[in-house]
Amino acid sequence: MKTTLKFEELAMATIAIYYMSTIHIGISQWWYILLFFTPDIGIAGYALGKKVGAIIYNFLHHKLLAVAILAIGLVLSNNYLLLTGAILFGHSSFDRIMGYGLKYFDGFKHTHLGMMK
């Protein structure tokens, strides 16, 4: 992945993580770290096959979903939705920095960013 794209994703992940730190829902700070990695539960979809796995994984890692949840959270003034959207957005950016992109149906390692090593 090109360095410029990684810096863009780093900027987006940093903003999302900062925003997450400003949302208070009454939990300990260490929970935010655990919650940050919850979208990876989508990997379990691969137990149902490559196509189902890719669909579930991509759904949980798509930035449009994150932005939609953030927007609904803003409209409803709901901190839980705001946090969920920020987590999904930040996590998706973090994954892209690491080279994990949205998956194609032929296998976990074939992503929209190229083949994973």
Each residue of 15-68: pLDDT tens digit? 999 999 899 888 888 898 899 999 999 999 999 999 999 999 999 999 999 999
pLDDT of residue 81: 97
Number of domains observed in the structure of the chain:
1
Full residue range of the structural domain in which residue 59 is found: 3-115
- Provide the b/e sequence for 35-71 (b: ≥16 CB within 10 Å): bbeebeebeebbeeebeebbbbbbebbbeebbeebbe
pLDDT of residue 116: 79
Q: Is residue 84's pLDDT more than 90?
A: yes
Q: Is the pTM of this model over 0.85?
A: yes
Predicted confidence band of residue 1 (pLDDT cuts 50, 70, 90): low
